[in-house]
Amino acid sequence: MIDVAREVTGRTIPVEDVAPRAGDPAILVADSARIREALGWAPQYGDLPVIVEHAWKWELAKGKLW
């Protein structure tokens, strides 16, 4: 995720590795297979670089660059 964001934005994004906080899940998984099968749904943006690029352009348009 961070590598994709760096590539799309052309910015250096610092990362700090820290110990998990209390209550943090061991892993996170995003899989839309069940909703696709049940409802025939598909995301408008299914590729991570495309998702990040779309979000980045939206932020640029708002003028919010932190």
Tell me if 55 is assigned to some domain: yes
Query: CB of 32 within 8 A of CB of 41?
Result: yes
Tell me if 23 is assigned to some domain: no
Tell me if 37 is assigned to some domain: yes
Is the four-CA dihedral 26, 27, 28, 29 of positive or negative sign? negative
Tell me if 24 is assigned to some domain: no
- Give the model's pLDDT for residue 66: 63
Tell me if 56 is assigned to some domain: yes
Token pair of 53 as six digits? 């690029």
CA–CA separation, 47 vs 31, rounded Å? 13
Tell me if 51 is assigned to some domain: yes
What digits encode the pLDDT tens for the residues 13-42? 999 999 999 999 999 988 899 999 999 999
- Whether the predicted pLDDT of 65 surpasses 80: no
Give the range of the structural domain holding residue 34, as residue numbers without chain letter.
1-12+30-66
* Secondary structure letter of residue 6 according to DSSP: H
Tell me if 60 is assigned to some domain: yes
In the chain, the number of structural domains is 1
